[in-house]
Structure 1
Amino acid sequence: MLDYLHSFQLSTLDWVLVVLGALFVGMSKGGLPGISGLAVWMYVKVFGAKESVGMLVSVLICADLFGVVIYRRHADLAFVKRMLPFLISGTLVGTLVFVLLPGAFYQHFIGAILLLLVFFHFGTKRLHPEPPEPPDPQPAERSKLVERTVGVCSGSFSMLANAGSVLLVAYLIRLGLPKLVFLGTFASLILISNVVCLPLHWAIGSVTLNDLPLSFALGLLSLVGVVAARLLVAVIPQKLFEAFIWTVVVLAGLELLF
């Protein structure tokens, strides 16, 4: 085991960042949105820009499985099936862009994605402060063009920077789905997207078979972050905490961008 860990040639600080990043991924699934942006920044610093995307996929899959297990009965499966071909198409487009973009530029690209994540978060939150939960919900009419565009873009963003959830959240909120349907549908879509991304990252070399045991172990650790987030939400004013997290995410994005 020690020989395996030593093969990554990481410093003590690197390991601290890797573990914290996994915990932050779980915390983002446990009710503290935005904190996963710090995980993206940490993994870029430890593994490099392109390699960090591949390493995070398995961590995200484990955390997403937790959400699917909890909310699977509430997912709009018909909607998930309609989105599936466009999500997959998006991951293929993202793979092409991933390969074509030079590694030296990719860190700046991820920084731009982090800042875009912040923009989408506050844009959708301003329009819809909470996911709607009316007693007799009337979801918004679904434009096929918008739906397909969101699917392709979300798949691309997932492949490029593990950021496909941003667009999905914005679109699902716009549809006005009941809260449990929103959570179940989102969890299912983002899990499928990440599962599709994993073999593509392996095929292009951003993650290797040697990386997977560590990556999945960190994914299991992310479940601790889910529980920790629940505890933090109970004792810390969430608005204050989120304001701090989003501020740090902006700084992290700017640091990568410039």
Structure 2
Amino acid sequence: MEQTVAFWIAAGAATFFVGMSKGGLPMVAMMGVPILSIFIAPAAAAGLLLPMYILADVYAVWLFRGHYSARNLKILIPAAAIGIFVAFLLISRVPVEATKLVVALIGLGYLADALRKRLAGDFAACPADVPRGLFWGALAGFTSYISHAGGPPFQAYTLPQKMPKMTFAGTATITFACINWMKLPPYILAGQVTWDSLQQIAVLAPLALIGAWSGYRVTRWLPERAFFLLVNVALGLLCLKLLVEVGQAWWP
């Protein structure tokens, strides 16, 4: 890989955004792979960023050590492990575009239902129940492994619970930290994480940590209502981005 100045600028920006997403701002996570994909293949970009996610995860888990829903973690993490295992077995048989389409429809379906409830004046919170948690958690692990798009299923399950913003952000951070660690061995076997990428990570690592700290500070500063508005807007944009990618793949 030719390591030009432009590549390092893009890699630095992508790494910083990855860190910010781990600091509690999931809305910026979608920017990492597209930025790097200008210079390298998307699969290679995803492989380069995964160790950055894991590095930022370690710091972010410490930042959110007192803000999380233990019940959700007990449900979602084992469910995600099941989803990752199924995805590992089926990766060669499941079209990535089909997975992206399902994820986009899930996210848009949640947003449409949330809008319907708001217009109807239904502001009741849903509990963290095991059946729904197992389904959405497994789907988050599955889609995260195949197309790095575990956010919409996770949010479809957790946002209706109306947790405080710091609890929501901490639960998301810890859940996806576990998912990323579980994804690492298969990614190494697939050759997406290599010795060369690890050497690049050593250079970019400080930006991931700075990004995580910055994201945490912004999350604490944002008003509750503005935070969740941004989460919902980002979810909608991510779903539209996935639909565009599916359209470009199926109807070039």
TM-score (norm 1): 0.71
Contact 1:87 1:151 in 2 (8 A): yes
The yes-or-no answer on 1:38 pairing with 2:38 is: no
> In the alignment, what sits opposite 2:63?
70
Change beyond 3 A, Cα 1:176–1:245: closer
Partner letter of residue 41 of structure 2? G
Change beyond 3 A, Cα 1:16–1:123: farther
For residues 228-251 of structure 1, the C-alpha deviation after alignment (integer angstroms, 9 at most, x for no partner) is 55579979x9989x9799769956
Specify which of 140, 147, 151 is matched with residue 154 of structure 1.
Answer: 140
Partner letter of residue 9 of structure 1? E
Specify which of 149, 162, 186 is matched with residue 176 of structure 1.
Answer: 162
> In the alignment, what sits opposite 1:16?
9
- Residue ranges of structure 2 left out of the alignment (5+ in a row): 119-123
> In the alignment, what sits opposite 2:150?
164
Percent identity of equivalent pairs: 22
Residue 35 of structure 1 aligns to a residue in which SS? helix
Q: How does 1:92-241 map to 2 (within 5 A)?
A: 92-100=85-93, 119=108, 126=115, 140-215=126-201, 217-228=203-214, 230=217
Contact 2:83 2:139 in 1 (8 A): yes
For residues 154-192 of structure 1, the C-alpha deviation after alignment (integer angstroms, 9 at most, x for no partner) is 111221222223322331122233444333322211110
Specify which of 9, 20, 29 is matched with residue 27 of structure 1.
Answer: 20
Residue 193 of structure 1 aligns to a residue in which SS? helix
Change beyond 3 A, Cα 1:170–1:23: same
TM-score (norm 2): 0.72
- Residue ranges of structure 1 left out of the alignment (5+ in a row): 1-7, 130-137
Greater mean deviation of Cα atoms: 54-63 or 38-47: 38-47
Greater mean deviation of Cα atoms: 197-206 or 210-219: 210-219
Q: 1:86 and 1:225 mapped to 2: Cα distance?
A: 29
Contact 1:111 1:257 in 2 (8 A): no
Number of aligned residues: 238
Change beyond 3 A, Cα 1:40–1:249: farther
Distance apart, 1:50 and its partner CA: 2.2
Q: 1:127 and 1:70 mapped to 2: Cα distance?
A: 35
Specify which of 43, 47, 59 is matched with residue 40 of structure 2.
Answer: 47
Contact 2:50 2:180 in 1 (8 A): yes
Distance apart, 1:60 and its partner CA: 1.2
Q: 2:37 and 2:88 mapped to 1: Cα distance?
A: 18
Contact 1:110 1:256 in 2 (8 A): no
Partner letter of residue 194 of structure 1? N
Q: 1:119 and 1:213 mapped to 2: Cα distance?
A: 39
